[in-house]
Structure 1
Amino acid sequence: MQFQVQHSPVFSTLEISLEQNEYVVAQPNSMLTMTAGIKIAAHIGRQSPTDPPESSHDSVDPLESHDGVRPIAKPPKKHSWSGGFKSLLGGESFFTAEFRAKSDGEQVVLAPDSYGDIVVLNIEGDSGYYLTRGSYLANTGQTNIRTTYGGLKGLMSRKGLFLMHAAGVGHVFCQSYGSVVHRELAVDETIYVDNRFMVAFSDTVTYKLVKATESVRDSLMSGEGLVNRYTGPGHVYYQTRGKPSGGFLSVLLEAVF
């Protein structure tokens, strides 16, 4: 399997070349083009029942300090109605689309639903990533993507009550709005990111919601309010634009669900 991101950073597409029986799982309605030897199957949730990963990280609360403790491995779950509803809660689709090659040399091209870059996350056995709401595009290999509960802090940070956690071995592709900036944080190195712009971050990174300034008045009147503080070690990916708001009611519903 080979892949290439083209036409970045604004009108990005993901081109994936597949050999016989290789497959990619993606968001529904993301296919731009494909060759004749690609078979499409729809599944509920994220986990493919035909080729499950050997191991994965369990979900932990990304909004609390991890204290250097890594998530505990837990067997991946197969497709289920509950998994589909959890995907909805995480801001994703109830179904996923599987594109599988019936012969060698097949190709599928995926296109995000927004104008922005595509982030390629390399998932290894000892690493994982949290994906923020709406950033998931596709995944390949023995990757396991689960919806995790983010708690009230996730609601207050406008990222919703749920996030997605990616672990296993393979690649996960994230869509963004605008260009993407990558920062690798050293141990105890800190960066503050406005809540609307985060795309993905390593599960080794400590995440905490804080005021933009020490003064509540300055935080509110500056328009910044609450921001996310990320402390390394690990990687963070954030986009250069925030998606336009659909109004107060839309923002409230997105934050809750």
Structure 2
Amino acid sequence: MEFQIRHAPVFTVVEFQLNESEEVVAQPNSMISFTPGIHISAAIGQTQGEGSWFAGFKSLLGGESFFRAVFRAKRDAQTLLLAPDNNGDILPIELNASETWYLSRGSYLAHIGDCRLDARYGGVKGVLSKTGLFLLHVSGVGTLFCQTYGAIMERELGEGEQFLIDNRYVVAFSGTVEYELVKASRSLRHSFMSGEGMVNRYTGPGRVYYQTRAKPSLGFFGLLLNAMT
């Protein structure tokens, strides 16, 4: 299977070229167009081979849809075009057996290959940092496609190196990276009066991807509602 990222970084789409029996798993409502030789089916959850209601609820906890769309080629030379929900970029991440990733809420777009996606508990700090109670944990071998709001920025962290990011902008980070919720300033008063409040501090080694725009805040009660859905 081949893919190409086009029209970046604002009106980005990803175009797949599929041969017979190849599959793309994606978020519902992300498809723009496809050729007649592609069969579309719906499944529960995000992981290949899972079809239980429990898998669907785990997907919801990670901020994704209860169902997934599976696009399977019935013959060679088929084309599929997907797009994010927002005006932003698409980040492809190559997965291997020795590395895992965490995705912030709503960052997942699609994947190909043998990938496993599970909701992992992020604690109360996940709510306070606007990422939700759960993060989406991704492992396996294949390619993961993340959707962003705006363009993509990357930060490679060395052993023990730290980097702080406003939580609304985080897209994905390596499983080796540790994160914790901290004040934006040493003073709590200055943190909140400056409008920055709480941020996530990431400690390497590993990579962190973040976006150049943030979705409008829903407020505290909207945040709690999103964390539970």
Question: What TM-score does the superposition give when structure 1 sets the normalisation length?
Answer: 0.87
Between the aligned partners of 2:225 and 2:122, the Cα distance in structure 1 is: 16
Does residue 130 of the first structure (1) align with residue 102 of the second (2)? Answer: yes
Deviations 1:133-169 (A, max 9, x none): 0000000001111111111111111111011011110
- 2:5 is aligned with what amino acid? V
Matched position secondary structure for 2:46: coil
- 1:80 is aligned with what amino acid? S
Between the aligned partners of 1:200 and 1:90, the Cα distance in structure 2 is: 13
Between the aligned partners of 2:19 and 2:167, the Cα distance in structure 1 is: 40
Q: 1:161 corresponds to which residue? A: 133
**Deviation for aligned residue 1:253:** 1.4
- 1:234 is aligned with what amino acid? G
- Give ranges in structure 2 of 5+ residues lacking alignment: none
- 1:48 is aligned with what amino acid? Q
Check conservation: 2:134, 2:227, Cα contact below 8 A.
no
- 2:97 is aligned with what amino acid? G
**Deviation for aligned residue 1:249:** 3.5
Q: 1:229 corresponds to which residue? A: 201
Does residue 83 of the first structure (1) align with residue 75 of the second (2)? Answer: no
Distance 1:248 1:209, change over 3 A: closer
Does residue 110 of the first structure (1) align with residue 82 of the second (2)? Answer: yes
Does residue 179 of the first structure (1) align with residue 151 of the second (2)? Answer: yes
**Deviation for aligned residue 1:247:** 4.7
Q: 2:123 corresponds to which residue? A: 151
Q: Percent identity?
A: 56
**Deviation for aligned residue 1:79:** 2.0
- Give ranges in structure 1 of 5+ residues lacking alignment: 50-77
Does residue 188 of the first structure (1) align with residue 160 of the second (2)? Answer: yes
Q: 2:25 corresponds to which residue? A: 25
Bigger share in strand: 2
Q: 2:66 corresponds to which residue? A: 94
Deviations 1:45-100 (A, max 9, x none): 01222xxxxxxxxxxxxxxxxxxxxxxxxxxxx22101111211221110000000
Check conservation: 2:13, 2:82, Cα contact below 8 A.
yes
Figure out how many residues of one structure are paired with residues of the other and give that number: 229
Between the aligned partners of 2:2 and 2:15, the Cα distance in structure 1 is: 8
Does residue 13 of the first structure (1) align with residue 13 of the second (2)? Answer: yes
**Deviation for aligned residue 1:245:** 2.6
Between the aligned partners of 1:178 and 1:8, the Cα distance in structure 2 is: 10
List aligned pairs for 1:8-87, cutoff 5 A: 8-49=8-49, 78-87=50-59
- 1:159 is aligned with what amino acid? T
Runs of 4+ deviating beyond 4 Å: none
**Deviation for aligned residue 1:256:** 4.2
Between the aligned partners of 1:169 and 1:104, the Cα distance in structure 2 is: 23
Matched position secondary structure for 1:167: strand
Check conservation: 1:90, 1:164, Cα contact below 8 A.
yes
Question: What TM-score does the superposition give when structure 2 sets the normalisation length?
Answer: 0.97
- 2:32 is aligned with what amino acid? L
